[in-house]
Amino acid sequence: MTGKLVKTIGGLIVLGVIGAGAFLYVTRSQPLPDDYWAAAGTGDVKNGALVFSMGGCVSCHKAPGAKEGDELVLAGGLALNSPFGTFHVPNISPDDTAGIGKWTLAAFGNALTRGVAPNGSHLYPSLPYGSYIRMTPKDVGDLFAYIKTLPKSTNLAPPHALGFPFNIRLAVGGWKYLYLNDQPRIAMATADAQVKRGQYIVEGPGHCGECHTSRDEFGGFKQNMWLAGAPNPEGKGKVPNITPGGDIASWSEADIVNYLETGFTPDFDTVGGSMVEVQKNMAKLPKEDREAIAAYLKVIPKR
């Protein structure tokens, strides 16, 4: 082996090591420190219940087919089908073994807003932490306090059914590098307090964009299509465009507020599909929050 060849191979090895190191650095988990979550203070269960409704937690985490009265048993098990495989929603009841009973606030907050499991591994963005990352520490702490008051369940959800390469969790770190940030979806420097509240709900805990915004081939939002509608994840039809230039362009702010409260459209049609659960949750919020949502939806860019 010539000296030149040895140098070439050595150089390739060095480049490979540097590249692997850079990949591991970029794709590393990035939880927030415990003292960040400690600043949330003592949990306010009453506000936590509102955040719980705002986030629609019950819609995904209740047991499939749960009967009325059992919705607050967050046993998990719901199957979420996607182009990447099937995700199974976990048990987040306060059970020590099957649920999150032994989690700290920091563990809960980092899972919810950073997509980091207590063991440091990446969680899949089927948990919409791409939206929840905008939640305040107080709302996260209050939500955690509320969930701890709910019934326990010993149900163990099945593992995710994902094919290669989507079953490699390290790759989720690359997805986060590309898409995960806490910046506003829409820049609104001059927005009033009501619109800013609506922005917080829609872009954060309400995670409306998760269904109403189309995605690219890697599952990230198409930023120039914010809330402009998307294929229905359930397989039929499409999720509406809810920008001022879309399917609800003719609706007034009062129409939007009434729809979120009652489930009736201005044409006296009724809410349908997966929006049924969303509307039920939004109806539990204070009227001022529904008004804030409407105000925000009326000032975002038309699509």
* Alpha carbons 282 and 8: distance in angstroms, whole number: 63
Which residue spans within the chain are E strands per DSSP? Answer: 79-82, 85-88, 161-162, 230-231, 238-239
**CB 184, CB 201: distance < 8 Å:** no
Please report the pLDDT score of residue 230 as a whole number: 94
**CB 113, CB 107: distance < 8 Å:** no
pTM of the model: 0.90
**Which residue from 125, 129, 109, 116 is spatially nearest to 29, judged by alpha carbons?**
116
For residue range 26-58, list pLDDT tens digits in order: 556 678 899 999 888 889 999 999 999 999 999
Please report the pLDDT score of residue 189 as a whole number: 82
* Residues sharing a CB contact under 8 Å with residue 132, sequence separation 6 or more, in sequence order: 55, 112, 113, 204, 205, 207
Q: How far apart are the first and last CA of the chain?
A: 63
**136 to each of 31, 37, 139, how far by Cα in Å?**
15, 10, 5
Please report the pLDDT score of residue 12 as a whole number: 45
> What is the biggest distance separating any 2 CA atoms in the chain, rounded to whole angstroms?
82
Please report the pLDDT score of residue 30 as a whole number: 77
* Alpha carbons 113 and 5: distance in angstroms, whole number: 49
pLDDT per residue of the chain (303 residues) written in tens, 0 to 9: 565 544 455 454 544 544 444 544 455 667 889 999 988 888 999 999 999 999 999 999 999 888 877 889 999 999 988 888 899 999 999 999 999 999 999 999 999 999 999 999 999 999 999 999 999 999 999 999 999 999 999 999 999 988 887 788 888 999 999 999 999 999 988 899 999 999 999 999 999 999 999 999 888 999 899 999 998 876 678 999 999 999 999 999 999 999 999 999 999 899 988 899 999 999 999 999 999 999 999 999 999
**CB 78, CB 64: distance < 8 Å:** yes
For residue range 58-75, list pLDDT tens digits in order: 999 999 888 877 889 999
Please report the pLDDT score of residue 6 as a whole number: 46
DSSP 225: G
Please report the pLDDT score of residue 173 as a whole number: 92
Residue listed under structure tokens 């326990």: 152
Please report the pLDDT score of residue 26 as a whole number: 57
DSSP 4: H
- Write down all domains in the chain, each with its CATH number in brackets: 34-179 (1.10.760), 193-299 (1.10.760)
Please report the pLDDT score of residue 165 as a whole number: 78
Find the helix packing angle between 170-179 and 3-26, rounded to 10°.
70
